[in-house]
Chains A and B, each alone.
Chain A
């Protein structure tokens, strides 16, 4: 039995201002009403236990080394109506297209810099701009972004906004599948009333997109071979790597399994060396090849970048994507969309102040206690100030940080992130949510229906990252027919 809560000044995913279910949540709400307290508790426990039993864990590093944890799961799904989803899809296609054109441009002619749309030093001084390794290359499909994870939020008016682009190694796709899998086991009664977009075909799309990145000099004597390069089982996203390799039916390799000879990449098998054509790497640029990047990397493969530059192997996502997805560049994405596509952004950004600009900086320093300050290079909720929740010491600390290094920080207004109900520890309460949408790009761009809904389970918390106590929810994209039927009834 669902017990309503105070909606407050927030946009609630399920309930309207009066606490009644929204139309697309009505059937779900009805089923929820029929469940007893005991059934609800059992569902929550079974779901979390299921993740633990299957060992779907991520590693958190703390004082006593790494501990394995599961991402807490909440069984109340995020439901997205078909027409809303169509808009998101259009917005994501547009955004990833523009970001890819931007990457191709700055690693070739750099027209966008010449035309003064984006300050040159913002690109050239970016620590993830790897022109020496990735500049001037003809890469397959001219595609730098094989898989992107775009994080969306909704503001207090229910408007979707892009919070962050992840163009390097976005993780979490396996959770989307596992959330759905567990949800089906634990809450079968919810599904009978709904017609959802299925996830099953998506791995086929992902595989085709990957195999489309055939390098210029791929071996012609044998079928192209793709591998997923992982840092190994101690990486926090290892389960994601296992899952993707398995579903795409490609080998999961570590750096030590690969070898470069005469600029050709091989993997070490029980029958000797076998040539590799396409590498979906989940290792950061820095660690990819000790000859080209950090010399102390033991995860990487010496000579890999030379093989890449020689056109003998493809590496996706492309090298040097980090320049396009940091928080400083984020502010310019709407300008990129305008510049390359001559369109307005379909899904807007969150308003962002660039602190290198003296006027904006001055204003921001006067309003620190109302704003969110983020380090442009950090992720996972680290080095971040949430003004309204901050202590005086924290405000002073961040003022100093900004003055010392204004290029390193951006400011955004505190957005009243939308909330959705969760059921944890025996009661219902509202929590802030966001949505990571996965975008796959090969010959075409394909958007994974739904994505990973993350939820800040600590009451009142704004941070959804799994490393800081965030959890996950299943995400349902309703099919159109279903909604028409509903309108007709």
Chain B
């Protein structure tokens, strides 16, 4: 397979995942702000948090002076300026799907193409009412689910499939690591245990993990349990470990389970990551080690992306999470 095509498949998949997850985060946020108290909102700088997770608050401030509801929502959804706006990540995914039409099921291309056509119309007609935003986010969600269904039910398990899977799971792992980092920093600066609770709840909601978490743990937030859960739970499909396990599976699929002179670095890094994301490793961490551990986890994910791209001669691109 051409390196360029592999690269496009990988980025198509990352951008689909990014779009879906950012849509989820924004819909969670739209619900949260209804219930949050004034204090929580101002102290938490909620929208800045969302910006940091979905794109970057600095990039936002390079276009706008102040945070307003309309502007932030537009920046996250339809904006052309924000490279990580959903309109942009979807267009990018669709562009990559177009490049790789010969490697993916036709129906997959049609899902993203149809969404793109819908988006063109939505962008023309937009006035950013809440209803429009909700429709838009729902539409993303449905398209994502359909795309996932097409991939899982009809794609041949060969090279293109594995490249797409690596993109998807790595994007997820990285996002969870990022969310943990952002909320850890928030909670560290807040210095209030009541706020702690709020932050970690938000973290769980942003990774769509509240339901599962409260099935496993008592209905009181324990930061160490949240950390344990989001990093190493093997049954939760957005924990870093779960995601990296699946990256590993896909790498094995690519390499038919063999380690070669060109792929050993990738395997070595995976080994390290699997050790570090293990329950035992995390429960042995002292409280003051958590911050560094979280930063390191995110860096490991980013590093893996680089090693992976190098291994398959993929074109290195700007890393934009």
Contacts and interface: CB of A to CB of B under 8 A. Distances in A.
B204 to A, nearest CB: 38
B3 A252 contact: no
Interface string A279-299: 000000000000000000000
Contacts of A256: 4
A213 B106 CA distance: 31
Contacts of B6: 270
Contacts of A272: 313
A252 B102 contact: yes
Interface stretch (B33-41, B108-116, B240-248): B108-116
Contacts of B98: 55, 233, 238
Q: Is the interface of A mostly helix, strand, loop or mixed?
A: mixed
A207 to B, nearest CB: 15
A245 interface: yes
Contact of A257 (B4, B102, B106): B4
A372 to B, nearest CB: 38
A418 B113 CA distance: 37
A250 B87 CA distance: 33
A238, A242, A253: residue with the most chain B Cβ atoms closer than 10 Å: A242
Nearest to B96: A233
Interface in B90-123: 95, 98-99, 101-102, 106, 109-110, 113-114, 117
Contact of A55 (B3, B4, B102, B110): B110
B3 A246 contact: no
A54 B3 contact: no
A405 to B, nearest CB: 41
Contacts of B313: 268-270, 272
A179 to B, nearest CB: 17
A246 B104 CA distance: 11
B66 interface: no
B3 A268 contact: yes
Nearest to A272: B313
B2 A242 contact: no
Contact of B2 (A52, A53, A246, A267): A267
Contacts of B117: 52-53
Given A53-B114, A54-B110, A55-B109, A233 B2 contact: no
Contacts of A268: 2-4, 313
Interface string B1-42: 111101000000000000000000000000000000000000
Q: Is the interface of B mostly helix, strand, loop or mixed?
A: helix
B109 A269 contact: no
A256 B314 CA distance: 12
B99 A270 contact: no
Nearest to B312: A270
Interface residues of B, number: 20
B102 A246 contact: yes
B124 to A, nearest CB: 13
A254 interface: yes
Interface string A260-278: 0000000111101000000
A117 to B, nearest CB: 45
A408 interface: no
Nearest to A267: B2
B159 interface: yes
A270 B3 contact: yes
A412 interface: no
Given A233-B95, A270-B3, A272-B313, A53 B110 contact: yes
Interface in A199-236: 233
A54 B1 CA distance: 24
B159 A270 contact: yes
B4 to A, nearest CB: 5
A269 B102 contact: no
A242 B113 contact: no
A233 B99 contact: yes
Contacts of B99: 233
A380 B312 CA distance: 42
A55 B2 CA distance: 23
Nearest to B94: A55
A53 B1 contact: no
B114 A251 contact: no
Given A53-B110, A53-B113, A242 B101 contact: yes
Given A233-B95, A242-B101, A246-B101, A270 B110 contact: no
Interface string A40-55: 0000000000001111
Contacts of B106: 54
22 contacts: A53-B117, A54-B106, A54-B110, A54-B113, A55-B110, A55-B113, A233-B98, A233-B99, A242-B102, A251-B2, A252-B102, A256-B4, A257-B2, A257-B3, A268-B2, A268-B4, A268-B313, A269-B3, A270-B1, A270-B2, A270-B312, A270-B313
Interface of B: 1-4, 6, 95, 98-99, 101-102, 106, 109-110, 113-114, 117, 159, 312-314
Interface of A: 52-55, 233, 238, 242, 245-246, 251-254, 256-257, 267-270, 272
